[in-house]
Chains A and B, each alone.
Chain A
Amino acid sequence: MLRGLRVSCSPHISEYRSTRSVMIDVIIGLVPAMAAAGYYFRNYALILIPTCVISAMVTEWLCNVIRKKEDSLGDYSAIVTGIILALSVPPRLPVWAAIIGSVFSIAIGKMVFGGLGANIFNPAMVGRAFLTVSFGALMTTWTVPAPIDPAMPRISPENTIHARTQATPLAWSKEVIKGKCETKVVNEQLKATFTGEVGGCLGETSAIALLIGGLYLLIRRTINVHIPFAVIVSAVAFAGIFYLIDSEKYAQPVFHLTSGGLLLCAFFIATDPVTAPLTPKGMWIFGIGVGSITMLIRIVGEYPEGVMYSVLLMNAVTSLIDRFCKWIPAGGKPKL
């Protein structure tokens, strides 16, 4: 009487959630940051974001064709990688460099490992690292945001060369540490780093936009609270210790939080589930590692910004963390 019945393993129903819907959530979470990028950097954002997304998608499709695998564009993960890469490069990055970065992100960062879920390193950060080592000058050329804050008089269109090379607040803080500048200059920029009217990478300047997006992801339970919390707490604690030691030489902890890519990293980059540990305990170790290595680079190291390297370093030890943070069943270890 009944024909064509399906037989499969239980359970026979499932929650309405797919890999695609997870990725769509991340894209929605990135919308405020993209909007802020569009507001502050205008046509640069309008060019860079679509360029990165399209070249990432084309690369993924090509890789699948070459590998003779089923098309995986439908999971939208390439779009997320493209957006994050675009948001983490300087606004005036030439289009050709952005394309190279995206191709490298997807091809070397993801597809050579076997595609989504198999990659060890965050693809967008792999692409960014490649761009940094290949085109160092382009990757440190900063642009002035469209609405210029009068609180930053030394950054002005007339003084473009100076401004472009030294515009990011973190570069200022580095100068402060080296004793070339006063702390006041840096701490005055706190409000500007919060709203985003400072120089910096395309999507990282506006702390408020990133916080809104991050909050959305937390409410939707797309990401867990552990990693963002661990990154922020450890970074603030690290900066706080230095601030307490010498508040003349080191910037306020909150300044470090709102400037640079720390919030973008805490909510969107470090939380990439594929390259982060599985258990809450592991997530805490991972987050604390990302936060403190970032601050170590920023305060002690030579570079003004350390988000990218800290994420890549912690990605490398993720499987090790997972191994150490193995769960024991609720009923305890079985007796042999």
Chain B
Amino acid sequence: MQIDTKSRLTFSGGTHPPEKKELTNESEIQQGPVVKQVAIMLIQHLGAVCRPLVAKSEQVQAGQKVGDSDAFVTAPVHSPISGKVKAIGLQAHAVLGRSPAVIIEAEPENNPPKQPNADKFTDDFDENQYSVRQICDAVREAGIVGMGGAGFPTRVKIEPNPRLPKETLIINGCECEPYINCDYRIMLEWTDKIIVGIKLAKKTSGCSKTIIGIEDNKPKAIEVMNEALERSGDSDSIRVVAVKTKYPQGGERQLIKALLNKDVPTGGIPPMIGVVVLNVATTAAIAEAVVYNRPLTHRVVTVSGEAITKPGNYYVPIGTSIEELIEFCGGVAERSAKVIVGGPMMGIAISDLTMPITKTTGAITVLTKKQIGRAKYKRRQTSCIRCGRCLEVCPEHLMPTKIAHAVKYNLLDVAESYYINACTECGCCSYVCPANIEVTGYIKIGKITLAKQKKKIPE
């Protein structure tokens, strides 16, 4: 099959930050640190907070469920290690502030580390040996959530829903965020596992069409995926499509626009237009959960950035503290300026390194002062000169400068009239702003303030 490696499929707007993929794209998925202690956040997803199922000083086994909830939109959490519950208390969280967590102390003697390639998957897998019900239950019990970053419970997404029938399943292998390579390595190394997961998700969601969208800066991944699909004889029903390399191509709304030329309604979700989008790491987790009955306890994390001594892609138990992971990677090479959970465009800068890795943490990026740039480091801003660059790059076709200034002067009704809630917070506007205004920052603040005013979130 001829692979189109220079793709024109894309959305309008967007920007081209330096990709910096070369730091870790050749590094194979390696065994992560052997942890002494993990902190399992009781909320690692969108939806209801789990309540702990274990008590202090209780003995837990690797893979045991430690938190769950009765709500529909939720996902249980599991312990990646065997050990003793040290405490159930508050733990720093990058977004939610201090949140409840179960802290488990490992017992080194009965803790063989989980290998990244322990489970074997073959290309002659038949998804029909599992019923839709079985797959849904397995996905729910394994606590699988969208591993691309949003963390929406996968069961809710792929479950058949008569009100919103789904036609197209899109597998997101774009990874448009600079520095990150975890999805790329998964596509190269866990190809068969991903295809098994795709087949299971396809069967459950009832989609007739499946498209794997990969940015054209990853020709190797496109090739490997195509070969594997031909081997398993699925190349007719599952297509690999290259999309243009541009940030934020990996946003689900942007990927749908590029692949299907459809717009998801503002404030809506993809199923409204019959689409389900799953990240490649999520499909791998589905395969493990259904075939080997393994809960989601480990994930691949890219540790990268110019300040890291040994950048690479690591298979890390969920709950490992970021500090431990950075030390495992040889610590930082020079005086670092920012530790970011995620990539530099959408990630969250943290100062408390005891925060644990969660199901949605795809990367830890440590940047130096030089990478951040002098103006950004010192937060020097000038007034908006209304150059309109933020409008040009906005993938959602918004007017970021108008929204940001409305929020700045506390005119939230004006901000709403410019559709503040349609913002996906991709950061393109702040990235291009010559006046160095934190456009995205203002919009985020405005969104939170509005939600608080409308009592959508508690104070």
Contact = CB atoms under 8 A, between A and B. Distances in A.
Interface stretch (A3-11, A161-169, A194-202): A3-11
A334 interface: yes
B33 interface: no
Nearest to B367: A12
Contacts of B351: 5, 7
B18 to A, nearest CB: 8
Contacts of A6: 337-338, 349, 372, 377
A13 interface: yes
Interface residues of B, number: 76
Contact of B438 (A9, A278, A329, A330): A9
A18 B434 contact: yes
A13 B338 CA distance: 11
Given A13-B372, A278-B401, A329-B266, A7 B349 contact: yes
Interface string A118-133: 1000000000000000
Nearest to A336: B267
Given A6-B372, A10-B348, A327 B399 contact: yes
B390 to A, nearest CB: 9
B263 A330 contact: yes
B179 to A, nearest CB: 10
Contacts, number: 185
- Residue of A276, A278, A333 with most chain B CB atoms under a 10 A cut-off: A278
Given A10-B348, A13-B17, A14-B376, A1 B327 contact: yes
A189 B441 CA distance: 56
Contact of B344 (A13, A118, A335): A13
Contact of A15 (B395, B397, B431): B431
Interface string A99-117: 0000000000000001111
Interface in B336-360: 336-340, 342, 344-351, 353
A324 interface: no
A15 B385 contact: no
Interface string A1-42: 110111111111111111101100000000000000000000
B375 A5 contact: no
Given A10-B345, A14-B436, A15-B15, A326 B418 contact: yes
Contacts of A21: 434
A12 B441 contact: no
Interface string B82-114: 000000000000000000000000000000000
Contacts of A15: 15, 17, 431-432, 434
A75 B435 CA distance: 9
Contacts of A160: none
B427 interface: yes
A278 B402 contact: yes
A273 to B, nearest CB: 4
A64 interface: no
A333 B344 contact: no
Contact of B379 (A5, A8, A11, A328): A8
Contacts of B421: 334
Contacts of A9: 430, 438, 440-441, 444
Given A12-B349, A12-B372, 17 more contacts: A4-B335, A5-B339, A8-B379, A10-B340, A10-B430, A11-B17, A11-B345, A11-B431, A12-B347, A18-B435, A19-B382, A19-B385, A224-B388, A273-B387, A326-B418, A330-B257, A334-B266
6 contacts: A8-B441, A10-B430, A329-B266, A329-B419, A331-B268, A331-B422
Closest 10 pairs (CB-CB, A-B):
A9-B441, A117-B383, A11-B427, A331-B266, A334-B267, A329-B422, A330-B397, A334-B266, A273-B387, A11-B345
